[in-house]
Amino acid sequence: MTKRLLEFGLTVVLLYTVTASIGSASELRMTPLVRAVQRARPSVVNIHSVKTIAGDEIFGSGKRRKVNGMGTGIVIDERGYIATNYHVIKGVDSLRATLTDGGSYTARVVSFDRKHDVAVIKINPGRRLAVMPLGTSSDLMLGEKVIAVGNAYGYENTVTAGIVSARSRDVVVNDKVSYKRLIQTDASINPGNSGGPLLNLDGEVVGINVAIRAGAQRIGFAIPIDDARVVLAQLLSIERLNGTYHGLLARERTTGKQRRLVVKASRPDSPASKAGFRPGDVILAAGKVKVADAVDFERALLGHVPGDKIEVVIRRNVGTRKLTLALGRPAKNVVTAKSETVVTPVAVRKPIADKTWRRLGLKLARVPATDRRFHGLMYRGGMRILAVRRGGPADRSGIRTGDVLVGLHVWETIDKDNVDFVLDHPKLASFSPLKFYILRGRETLFGHIAVDTLDR
């Protein structure tokens, strides 16, 4: 009897040991790679686009057709600002962004930089989004494990892993497109991954996936996040997007994983100068945003108007203090910047701002029907295009300075009242993107333009 009890007891112990082993399997499966993906995944955005093409030309008399595109984005601000590649949004008629929770939203292009292939788009999710954890590309090691997350071939939220194969690669894609200082990785990067994050094992973004080597397997490239953030700071500049001004000049310093934004100077008589910033001050926070670099500082000030006061926490010498920054207006509404940065400029909220400039990105002047360019044609006049706002709807649709706008949708555009009639039409959204007709030389061309609905 005693022997049987001992045998029974041994059996129970063995069963308990096996069960405990099975129960701990979930802990074994929760690898650093899995934790990294779980941390970053809520900030990954799947981008779907629609573009109108006609062969290899922007315009043409042949049949036009719609094509679908795909890409990936990274949430860089809780209000729905998303970083991606310029080539993902180039020339699109419409954009749709889908979050990992399934929420899908119409997106608009905010700004872009052609040369560095970086862009910012915006959605209005109606709630605060999770911002991608920020890492640094300055300390990446050859052989270090990295992870790519994106909309590969339209398969949303695809996760691939590999290593850092090389650093500072210069890559020539074609005669017009080349990149400098890219991260090379053997993590599988496919069409649709463009604009998505390259992560380290801490779940922090260290690069923006940008290109693959055609005909090669497991050779992909990413823009180092430290380089991309410099461009993104320009694209989020409040002077260009908000019509507000701070006048602070600062530089970023990265030591290991520590990032700091250090004041270099303040422009004379600027809000920053009046607030008391000094060279060497380290900016720790602006409003409710913790500041690691210029991107954080600019986005902390976005959405404010001239006169708004923002509390800025700085470290000076060995102590911290608070400064009050009262935003002002820029002297001029400058829209150009180095590196061919193109932004959607915001007028300084002047009620007299031209509607066609705000919503189409065009400045127009009337051309009478007696103008010689109309001889032999059936047009009763048109609107000559004096200026095209870089990065605006017209620019994205291929309209050029010197073209003559002769029609929108089904209406002729003889004068400004005709254009305003279309832009004020109560059913404008139903025929957007808006079909347009222009005269270029002696040739009539047509295309489609996505009307900007923002009150610029």
Which domains are seen in the chain, by residue range? Answer: 38-122 (2.40.10.10), 236-326 (2.30.42.10), 350-449 (2.30.42.10)
Closest by CA to 197, choosing from 239, 246, 233, 161, is 161
Q: How many CB atoms lie within 10 A of CB 27?
A: 8
pLDDT tens, position by position, 442-453:
778 888 888 865
Q: What pLDDT shows up at residue 58?
A: 46
Q: For 159-184, what is the HEC assignment? A: EEEEEEEEEEEEEECCCCCEEEEEEE
Residue 246 has pLDDT above 80, yes or no: yes
The span from the CA of 224 to the CA of 234, in Å, is 16
Closest by CA to 275, choosing from 251, 239, 248, 300, is 248
pTM for this entry:
0.68
The span from the CA of 36 to the CA of 175, in Å, is 37
11 versus 99: the higher-pLDDT residue is 99
Instruction: Kindly tell me the sign of the dihedral angle through the C-alpha atoms of 441, 442, 447, 453.
Output: positive
Q: Where are the beta strands (DSSP E) in 64-134?
A: 65-77, 81-84, 94-98, 104-113, 118-122
Closest by CA to 98, choosing from 47, 28, 138, is 47
Q: What pLDDT shows up at residue 90?
A: 87
Q: Which residues are catalytic?
A: 87, 117, 194
Q: What pLDDT shows up at residue 74?
A: 97
Of 80-84, 92-96, 138-142, 347-351, give the lowest mean pLDDT range: 347-351
Q: What pLDDT shows up at residue 450?
A: 82
Q: What pLDDT shows up at residue 260?
A: 92
Q: How many CB atoms lie within 10 A of CB 51?
A: 16
Q: What pLDDT shows up at residue 146?
A: 97
407 versus 201: the higher-pLDDT residue is 201
Q: What pLDDT shows up at residue 456?
A: 42
**Residues above pLDDT 70, as percent of the chain:** 85
pLDDT tens, position by position, 39-70:
999 999 999 998 877 654 444 445 667 888 99
Contact 221, 212 (CB under 8 A): yes
